[in-house]
Chain A
Amino acid sequence: MKNKIVYTLFILIAVFALCNSFVIENPYFKISKKDVKLKIPKGFPKPNYNFKKNKLSPDIFVLGRKLFYDNLLSKDHSVSCASCHQRIAAFAHIDHKLSHGIYAKIGTRNVPALQNLIWKDAYMWDGGVTSFEMQPINPITSPIEMDESLANVILKLQANKEYVKLFKKAYKDTLINSERILKALAQFTGLMITANSRYDKYMQKKDTFSLAEKNGLQLFRTKCASCHKEPLFTDNSYRNNGIKMDSSLNDFGRGRLTEIEKDYQLFKVPGLRNIEMTYPYMHDGRFKKLKDVIEHYSNTANHSEKADTLVSRIGSLSAQQKKELLSFLLTLTDKEFLYDRRFADPAMLQ
């Protein structure tokens, strides 16, 4: 009998120890120095944000990762950054036109993907945010997203033993301030770099394209690439793409910001990488499918008075051209990025 108890206890302890080591020291989630090394992909320009004043380190990255996935950032601990920025959707909000934040409130814009952020010169659909590090203040303090103050976030983190430990590990002392929070988030999100799609491999002659994909790329270059400039697939400009303003949203885009008439209803040209996964599309998520987007540029956009001249000159596309364009766009999916273990939530067992 006694033996049995000792034996059971031994098994229990062994199982516990195994579980423990699996959860805490699972090598899948371990971040090494190599993992946080900034590698500029071949053919990419110099990034606008270069981590010079925010030296990349595994411990700061891990802190940023924890913050990104933590509901604590929101007022009632109901949503995290990852609620609307999902890894599988290149950190857009899959299948959501407009996202719901705290208290189930619905926002007015479609969540943009988080990828290749350090090459952008401004953030948000209207480009209102010009500082990469300061961007997270928007979702944290917005009354319809996380509705929390930075001061409160700091208080909550200071009261959390695990965070005190992580800050100490990352910054060598236990000071918790907004600068450190924002810089940690910048390390985690800034390294979300996608450059390993089939398109990239084709460009590097490591993969081949089907005839349809080749024709699609050709067509893309003549019709779309002046705004969706390779290799980032955006020229970082603001344009009217010919969609009619939704009067229930009344979103004036860049005009709200600059108060200049010509900027009304202009929105930032989004990059198109991983576009297969970032549905629905446009700044208000009005198009469910990629074929709807292509249909818009081939048809309705041509009749819009306000559309950018580069949009209205696209002209109508044949059924075959539409198919080929679509096949090309699907080559922009980067599975290595979408399944990159560095960006996975360590609280979720894979």
Chain B
Amino acid sequence: MKTTLHISICVAILWVAMSFTGDLKSKKNNGSPVSISFEHFVGNEILKLDSANYKNALGQTFTISKFKYYVSNFHFKNSAGKDVTIGGSFLINEDEEETKKILLAKIPEGNYTSMDFIIGVDSLHNCSGAQSGALDPVNAMYWAWNTGYIFLKLEGQAATSLSPGHFFEYHIGGYKQPTNCIRKISFDLSKSESITKEIKIKVNVLEILKTPSAIDFSKLSSVTDLKNATVIADNYKDMFELISDEK
């Protein structure tokens, strides 16, 4: 008797729950979620932390032990000139596989011609006080003594580095002029025929060390200051490349 009662209660709850999600679906069925994968490369090789040896533009050998960065404020434009903005920040961390594929909220069907986002965290969210999620300071991407988020961390070892242990460490951040390290990244999606569902972006770490300023590990092995940060920021501006967008 008791069991029957329990089962019927469960069924009732399930039925209510299902009807509720069904209701949600019917109301919001005017778009699909878009996923964006960030695939980390060094040149043409897939990035491997600690184990693989790479060479920079000056032929200096190095390994990478840490690579993480913020991407924020995704924005899409469709052929009718309509804008869709999805705010918020995502922390992409090579060491945590699940962070490398992000799911943006549903965006309405349409012919999207362009997409842009920023690398970093915008000034508003740099000054918004205590936050949780990607912007929780517990993620160790926050400068306490000089308020603001670290936009990108690249760390590793290079034999030519003169730092103790031959380490190199680039911590890049800063949202105030003239040392603003936020960079806007834009992609042309005009070849897309319908809604873009899965976007794959190649992220080439080598670009951070290459253009316009080729980084010499023997001269610059640690960046936490503002002036050198902008040099690296100008370099990381072109590390993203759209490799596919499935429709």
Q: Are B147 and A178 in contact (CB under 8 A)?
A: no
Q: Are A134 and B138 in contact (CB under 8 A)?
A: no
- How near does chain A come to B28, taking the closest CB pair, in angstroms? 27
Q: Are B137 and A137 in contact (CB under 8 A)?
A: yes
Q: Does B130 contact A (CB under 8 A)?
A: yes
Q: Are B132 and A134 in contact (CB under 8 A)?
A: no
- How near does chain A come to B128, taking the closest CB pair, in angstroms? 8
- How near does chain B come to A143, taking the closest CB pair, in angstroms? 12
Q: Does A151 contact B (CB under 8 A)?
A: yes
Q: Does A167 contact B (CB under 8 A)?
A: no
Known A134-B147, A138-B145; 14 more pairs at CB < 8 Å: A54-B129, A131-B128, A133-B129, A134-B129, A134-B144, A141-B144, A142-B144, A150-B138, A177-B138, A178-B130, A178-B136, A180-B130, A257-B146, A259-B226
Residue among A53, A129, A141 making CB contact with B147, cutoff 8 Å: A129
The interface bits of chain A over 155-190 (1 if a CB of B lies within 8 angstroms of the residue's CB, else 0) are 000000000000000000000011111110010000
The complex places the Cα of A289 from the Cα of B101 at a distance, in Å, of 60
- How near does chain A come to B230, taking the closest CB pair, in angstroms? 11
18 contacts between A and B (CB under 8 A): A128-B147, A129-B144, A129-B145, A131-B128, A131-B129, A133-B129, A133-B130, A134-B129, A134-B130, A134-B137, A137-B137, A141-B144, A150-B138, A178-B132, A178-B138, A180-B130, A257-B146, A259-B226
- How near does chain B come to A199, taking the closest CB pair, in angstroms? 32
Q: Does B227 contact A (CB under 8 A)?
A: yes
- How near does chain B come to A252, taking the closest CB pair, in angstroms? 13
- How near does chain A come to B95, taking the closest CB pair, in angstroms? 15
Q: Does B127 contact A (CB under 8 A)?
A: yes
The interface bits of chain B over 124-141 (1 if a CB of A lies within 8 angstroms of the residue's CB, else 0) are 000111111000111000
The complex places the Cα of A141 from the Cα of B137 at a distance, in Å, of 11
Binding site for B on A (CB under 8 A): 53-54, 124, 128-134, 137-138, 141-142, 150-151, 154, 177-183, 186, 257-259
Q: Which residues of B contact A138 (CB under 8 A)?
A: 144-145
The interface bits of chain B over 214-236 (1 if a CB of A lies within 8 angstroms of the residue's CB, else 0) are 00000000000111000000000
Q: Are B132 and A177 in contact (CB under 8 A)?
A: yes
Q: Does B142 contact A (CB under 8 A)?
A: yes
- How near does chain A come to B172, taking the closest CB pair, in angstroms? 15
Q: Are B147 and A179 in contact (CB under 8 A)?
A: no
Q: Which residues of A contact B129 (CB under 8 A)?
A: 53-54, 131-134, 182-183, 186
Kindly report which residue of chain A lies nearest to residue B129, judged by CB atoms.
A133
Q: Which residues of B contact A129 (CB under 8 A)?
A: 144-147
- How near does chain A come to B232, taking the closest CB pair, in angstroms? 15
Q: How many residues of B contact A (CB 8 A)?
A: 17
Q: Are B130 and A259 in contact (CB under 8 A)?
A: no
Interface contact tally, CB-CB below 8 A: 63
Binding site for A on B (CB under 8 A): 127-132, 136-138, 142, 144-147, 225-227
- How near does chain A come to B133, taking the closest CB pair, in angstroms? 9
Residue among A137, A186, A257, A258 making CB contact with B144, cutoff 8 Å: A137
Known: A150-B138, A259-B227. A124 touches B145 (CB 8 A): yes
Q: Which residues of A contact B142 (CB under 8 A)?
A: 134, 137
Q: Are B225 and A177 in contact (CB under 8 A)?
A: no
Candidate in B132, B145, B226 with the most chain A CB atoms within 10 angstroms: B145
List of 7 A-B pairs having minimum Cβ-Cβ separation, nearest first: A133-B129, A182-B130, A137-B144, A133-B130, A179-B130, A130-B147, A179-B132
The complex places the Cα of A129 from the Cα of B226 at a distance, in Å, of 16
Q: Which residues of A contact B144 (CB under 8 A)?
A: 129, 134, 137-138, 141-142
The complex places the Cα of A134 from the Cα of B226 at a distance, in Å, of 21
Q: Are B146 and A179 in contact (CB under 8 A)?
A: no
The complex places the Cα of A124 from the Cα of B145 at a distance, in Å, of 8
Residue among B127, B137, B147, B225 making CB contact with A259, cutoff 8 Å: B225
The complex places the Cα of A142 from the Cα of B225 at a distance, in Å, of 19
Q: Which residues of A contact B138 (CB under 8 A)?
A: 150-151, 154, 177-178
The complex places the Cα of A151 from the Cα of B8 at a distance, in Å, of 44
Q: Which residues of B contact A182 (CB under 8 A)?
A: 129-130
Candidate in B147, B225, B226 with the most chain A CB atoms within 10 angstroms: B147
The complex places the Cα of A257 from the Cα of B227 at a distance, in Å, of 11
- How near does chain A come to B138, taking the closest CB pair, in angstroms? 5
Kindly report which residue of chain A lies nearest to residue B135, judged by CB atoms.
A179
Q: Which residues of B contact A134 (CB under 8 A)?
A: 129-130, 137, 142, 144, 147
- How near does chain A come to B143, taking the closest CB pair, in angstroms? 9
The complex places the Cα of A264 from the Cα of B111 at a distance, in Å, of 54
Candidate in A151, A179, A182 with the most chain B CB atoms within 10 angstroms: A179
Q: Which residues of B contact A133 (CB under 8 A)?
A: 129-130
- How near does chain A come to B120, taking the closest CB pair, in angstroms? 17
The complex places the Cα of A265 from the Cα of B131 at a distance, in Å, of 33
- How near does chain B come to A320, taking the closest CB pair, in angstroms? 44
